[in-house]
Structure 1
């Protein structure tokens, strides 16, 4: 290989199964031959097929750039990414168009390759929902991590209603969530109902029930109508959290401007019921909940539940991405400090 090798950046998809996962790599040979090698050497992974390949004058550098840009969606220590192959292809093309050093080649010759510029495999199964993916999403998540100076921890998947990145801390977290269908972005402060260090969600709820401090903090905010509180009821099925009709504690999200002292106490008491009183509220409780089924036949079950608090605000990017994220984090810093102190 030369210092600047011509070749292919390829995108592999799982053969015959529609999954929102792909593999992105590079080769100076035929991508189909490289795919066969990967399948032969695989030890329990998926059987892959070539979905797309792009011929460029520096495939090594393009692979590095793509992996860097899509790092928020990358599975740890692997070349797997949590998005479908077609969305990955759109992201790669967007990345190429946003720079000038790497060029797409009309055709590329080598001993083991055929002449192809872009190869795309058609699938027979069209049940997978098609959604457009922009490389700007990956850049946004990367900017969030850079502003906070963290590596970050991704959550959700692109084919779900939302996905995003947290700062990776156990307990109170900064996070950014992207909602493609609604076309909006949230920056928030988050505390899940997990054990972490001695059930911090329990300490926060019990502290606020006795001496509520959040209403006083709300009075100091410049725009409480632009900040929202969502107290979730998470139902647990082993390690997953299926959707339930009773997901909102208090019945819905609330703007902080409408959160009266009486309403806050009511929400706190309902959240506390999601924890086990016999264990000093340091364990999940069990409740009857209604699981939402795709066929419309919802199912009532007794499941373990726990409370989950998020206070968030929409992110409007009106300047540099990093500056917009930094300004929104500054707006929510007093909420973050309160949540840290109470938990």
Structure 2
């Protein structure tokens, strides 16, 4: 039997992505106004969407109830993250069902739960109806939903709506599908992505070593539809604890390349630079340490700094974010399917 501290009245809240409908939510607890807690999360977050409170339930023991909810919904929880692959409106139905099934946690009135004199009128509210969006955000939502439906995935969000880019990936630990939107530039892209992370056996290292031995990607290019519309970028990620600061030396090979431009010599040169971003002493199963120049708001640092680095492969094709054509999105995915199959096969991920 799990031991809990003394019961504390408060709220179990559900947060949804602000301004865009996505099948993802955050579920947490607080003894204060959930709106205040949501504002704190938005202020402290560096890599997630902006959130809004969609639902909340006042209970006599918010910590115990949150733990029960998290346990019940564990199959829908994203690994190592506090996100659930569940639309907020579906999440509140699940939370209400869990509350109805337990005897030692009960709902309380708003006045009983609140610790401050604040407006908490949403407590226990029924599922919300989809709000009216601006045409732009509705269009983005259309793209995001279309992407998840075409690939048959639940999706994992990344970026922030108030940042230069945001989007959604399939969340796979290895080769990933992703859709990135750049609202300030009016651009979007569908991509195949493999980061320099451990995952299971450092798949980025497996891919690089395999391609250096037999460049299978080059053999694939003649059979790819419109390779001139597909861009390859091999980047160098610098690591400062868990964050990745911008650096001057971020692009391997010096720039991005159209897939149709890549020759055997160029590909081997990029791969050689990429494997140098991994730890040779550990059979390349780890990050290397290199001198890099950090870029800050006021410009590049005067001196380079030795930091851990790792390679990061992205191969993408553009789409029009202002188009409501699912056919165009489907065509972009089809164009990249051979690339996804290649990356998955040669990396083992």
- Give yes or no for TM over 0.5: yes
The alignment covers a number of residue pairs equal to 253
Mapped partners of 2:266, 2:115: distance in 1: 61
Q: 1:35 to 1:141 in 2, by over 3 A?
A: farther
Q: What residue is the counterpart of 2:239 in the other structure?
A: 236
Mapped partners of 2:140, 2:165: distance in 1: 12
Q: What residue is the counterpart of 2:54 in the other structure?
A: 25
Match runs of 1:20-59 below 5 Å: 21-25=50-54, 40=115
Stretches of structure 2 that go unaligned for 5 or more consecutive residues are 1-33, 57-108
Mapped partners of 1:256, 1:191: distance in 2: 17
Mapped partners of 1:39, 1:23: distance in 2: 19
Q: What residue is the counterpart of 2:316 in the other structure?
A: 312
Q: Say whether residues 1:14 and 2:39 are aligned partners.
A: yes
TM-score (norm 2): 0.64
Q: CA deviation at 1:204?
A: 0.5
Q: Say whether residues 1:325 and 2:339 are aligned partners.
A: no
Structure with the larger RCO, 1 or 2 (CA within 8 Å, 6+ apart):
2
* Deviations 1:307-337, CA, capped at 9 Å, x for gaps: 0101000013697543222221111111111
Mapped partners of 1:146, 1:290: distance in 2: 41
Q: 1:309 to 1:297 in 2, by over 3 A?
A: closer
Match of 1:136 among 125, 134, 139: 139
* Deviations 1:263-311, CA, capped at 9 Å, x for gaps: 0010000000000111111110000111111122525211100001010
RMSD over aligned Cα atoms: 3.2
* Deviations 1:50-87, CA, capped at 9 Å, x for gaps: 9xx9xxxxx845x2x44xxxxxxxxxxxxxxxxxxxxx
Match of 1:334 among 334, 338, 341: 338
Mapped partners of 1:284, 1:319: distance in 2: 40
Q: CA deviation at 1:149?
A: 1.2
Mapped partners of 1:297, 1:37: distance in 2: 54
SS of equivalent residue, structure 2 residue 299: coil
Q: 1:11 to 1:256 in 2, by over 3 A?
A: same
SS of equivalent residue, structure 1 residue 251: coil
Question: Are the equivalent residues in 2 in contact too, given 1:184–1:315 (CA < 8 A)?
Answer: yes
Q: 1:22 to 1:216 in 2, by over 3 A?
A: closer
Q: What residue is the counterpart of 1:119 in the other structure?
A: none
Stretches of structure 1 that go unaligned for 5 or more consecutive residues are 1-9, 28-33, 42-47, 54-58, 67-91, 99-132
TM-score (norm 1): 0.66
Mapped partners of 1:26, 1:202: distance in 2: 44
Match runs of 1:183-202 below 5 Å: 183-202=186-205
Q: 1:286 to 1:223 in 2, by over 3 A?
A: same
Match runs of 1:1-343 below 5 Å: 14=39, 21-25=50-54, 40=115, 60=126, 63=128, 65-66=129-130, 92-94=131-133, 134-298=137-301, 300-316=304-320, 321-343=325-347
* Deviations 1:232-263, CA, capped at 9 Å, x for gaps: 10111111111111110111111111111110
